Amino acid sequence: MAVSAFLWFLFFFFFFFFFFFFFFFFFFFFFFFFFVIFVDGQCLDDQKKLLLEFKSELVHNSSTSHSFVNWNETGDCCIWGGVGCDNSGRVTDLNLNDEGISGVIGESSSLFRLTYLSNLDLAFNDFTTSEIPNQFHRLPNLAYLGLSYSGFVGPFPSTLANLTALVRLHLSSNFLTGSIPSFHTCKNLKFIDLSHNKLVGSLCHLHFLSLTNLTRLDLSYNSLNGTIPRHLFALPSLDDLDLSNNRFSGKIEEFTITNNTNLRQLDLSSNRIGGHIPNFFFQNPNMYILRLSDNLFNGSFQLNKIRSLTSLSELALSNNNLSVETTNMSLSSGGYPYLSTLHLSSCNLYDFPNLENLSLLHTLDLSNNHLRGDIPGWIWETAKAYLNLSFNLLTGLQKPKYVAGIPNSGDFAIFLGNNRLTGAIPSFICDASPFGVLDLSFNNLSGSIPPCLINKSFVSEVLNLRGNKISGVIPDRFSIECGLQTFDVSNNSLVGKVPKSLENCKSLVVVNVGNNNLEGSFPCMLPLSLRILLLRSNRFHGGLGCRKSWPNLQILDISSNNFSGSVKLLKFERNDAMESYKWIEVKLVKIWPDFTAIDLSSNHFRGEIPDAIGNLTSLYLLNLSHNSLTDAIPRSFGALTELGSLDLSSNKLTGRIPDELAKLTFLSVLNLSYNHLTGMIPTGPQFQTFSADSFRRNTRLCGFPLDRSCNSPHVPVPTPSEPKDEEIEWGYVFAASGYVVGIGIVAWTLLCCRRWRERYFGKIEEVVDKIFYERGRRRRHERRVRRREERRNGLRRHHH
Name which of 444, 443, 489, 483 is nearest 464 in CA terms.
Answer: 489
Question: How far is it, in rounded angstroms, from Cα 637 to Cα 656?
Answer: 13
> Which residues, listed in sequence order, are joined to residue 563 by a DSSP beta bridge?
542
| Pairwise CA distance, residues 342 & 416, whole Å | 17
Decide: is 682 part of the binding site for ligand NAG (CB under 6 A). Answer: no
- Residue of the chain from 49, 187, 231, 779 that contacts ligand NAG (CB under 6 A): 187
* 225 three-class SS: strand
Q: Is 420 in the site for ligand NAG (CB under 6 A)?
A: yes
Task: State the nearest-atom distance from the C-beta of 320 to ligand NAG, in Å.
Answer: 9
* Tally of CB atoms within 10 A around 744: 21
Q: Does 626 bind ligand NAG (CB under 6 A)?
A: yes
Residue 298 in the binding site for ligand NAG (CB under 6 A): yes
Give me the least distance between CB of 644 and ligand NAG, in Å please.
Answer: 10
Q: Which is nearer to ligand NAG, 198 or 372 (CB)?
A: 372
- CA dist., res. 284 & res. 286, Å (int): 5
Among 265, 649, 675, 749, binds ligand NAG (CB under 6 A): 649
According to the binding rule CB under 6 A, does residue 64 interact with ligand NAG? yes
**Min dist. Cβ of residue 447 to ligand NAG (A):** 9
Site residues for ligand NAG, window 755-784 (CB under 6 A)? Answer: 762
Strand 581-584 to 571-574 pairing: antiparallel
357 binds ligand NAG (CB under 6 A): yes
Give the three-class secondary structure for 119: strand
Interaction between residue 686 and ligand NAG (CB under 6 A): no
Out of 49, 66, 137, 783, the residue judged to bind ligand NAG by CB under 6 A:
137
Number of CB atoms found within 10 A of residue 168's CB: 18
Q: Does 63 bind ligand NAG (CB under 6 A)?
A: yes
Could you tell me where the beta strands, DSSP code E, fall in 104-194? 119-121, 144-146, 153-155, 168-170, 175-177, 191-193
DSSP symbols for 327-377: TT---TTTSSTT--EEE-TTS---S----TT-TT--EEE--SS--EEEEPT
CA distance 380 to 373: 16
With CB atoms as reference, the residue minimizing the distance to ligand NAG is 274
Q: Find the binder of ligand NAG among 164, 179, 213, 479 (CB under 6 A).
A: 213
Using the minimum distance from each CB to ligand NAG, give the nearer residue, 187 or 307: 187
Query: How far is residue 626's CA from residue 601's CA, in Å, rounded to a whole number?
Result: 6
Q: How many residues bind ligand NAG (CB under 6 A)?
A: 53
Neighbours of 204 (CB within 10 A): 13
Minimum distance, C-beta of residue 375 to ligand NAG, in the bound complex (Å)? 15
Q: How far is the CB of 540 from ligand NAG (least distance, A)?
A: 14
Q: How far is the CB of 299 from ligand NAG (least distance, A)?
A: 5
Contacting residue, 165, 524, 525, 669, with ligand NAG by CB under 6 A: 669
Residue 650 Cβ vs ligand NAG, minimum distance, rounded to whole Å: 4
Stretch that binds ligand NAG, among 294-302, 428-436, 490-498, 726-734 (CB under 6 A): 294-302
Choices 57-65, 215-223, 398-406, 742-750; region in contact with ligand NAG by CB under 6 A: 57-65
Q: Which of 150, 197, 625, 675 binds ligand NAG (CB under 6 A)?
A: 625
Among 86, 131, 356, 594, binds ligand NAG (CB under 6 A): 356
**Residue 605 Cβ vs ligand NAG, minimum distance, rounded to whole Å:** 12
**Number of H-type helices and E-type strands within the chain:** 7, 50
Say if CB 604 and CB 560 are below 8 A apart.
no
Least spacing, CB of residue 25 vs ligand NAG, in Å? 28
645 SS3 class: strand
Nearest 5°: phi and psi at 773?
A: -60, -50
Give the residue among 91, 71, 85 at the shortest CA–CA distance from 139.
91
Run of H or E residues at 793: helix 764-799
**Under 8 Å between Cβ of 229 and 205:** yes
Of these, 42, 72, 129, 683, which contacts ligand NAG (CB under 6 A)?
A: 72
CB 232 within 8 A of CB 258: no
- Whether omega before 705 lies within 30 degrees of 0, making that bond cis, reads yes
The SS3 call for residue 503 is helix
CB of 196 to ligand NAG, least distance (A): 22
Which residues partner with 597 through β-bridges? 555, 621
- For residue 340, which of 409, 239, 401, 277 has the smallest C-alpha distance? 409
Which of 162, 283, 448, 529 contacts ligand NAG by CB under 6 A? 162
User: Does residue 538 interact with ligand NAG by CB under 6 A?
Assistant: no
Mask of contacts with ligand NAG, 582-621, x by CB under 6 A? -------------------xx-------------------
Does 210 participate in binding ligand NAG (rule CB under 6 A)?
no
Distance CA 621, CA 642 (A): 9
Q: Is 275 in the site for ligand NAG (CB under 6 A)?
A: yes
CB of 547 to ligand NAG, least distance (A): 28
Maximum CA extent, the chain: 125
Considering the rule CB under 6 A, would residue 441 count as an interface residue with ligand NAG? no
Does 444 help bind ligand NAG (rule: CB under 6 A)? yes
CB of residue 517 to ligand NAG, shortest distance in Å: 17
The DSSP bridge pattern shows strands 321-325 and 510-512 to be unpaired
Using DSSP, state whether 68 is helix, strand or coil. Answer: helix
Binding site for ligand NAG (CB under 6 A): 61, 63-64, 70, 72, 74-75, 100, 137, 159, 162, 185, 187-188, 212-213, 251, 274-275, 296, 298-299, 302, 321, 325, 327-328, 332, 354, 356-357, 420, 422, 444, 446, 559-560, 601-602, 623, 625-626, 645, 647, 649-650, 669, 671, 673-674, 693-694, 762
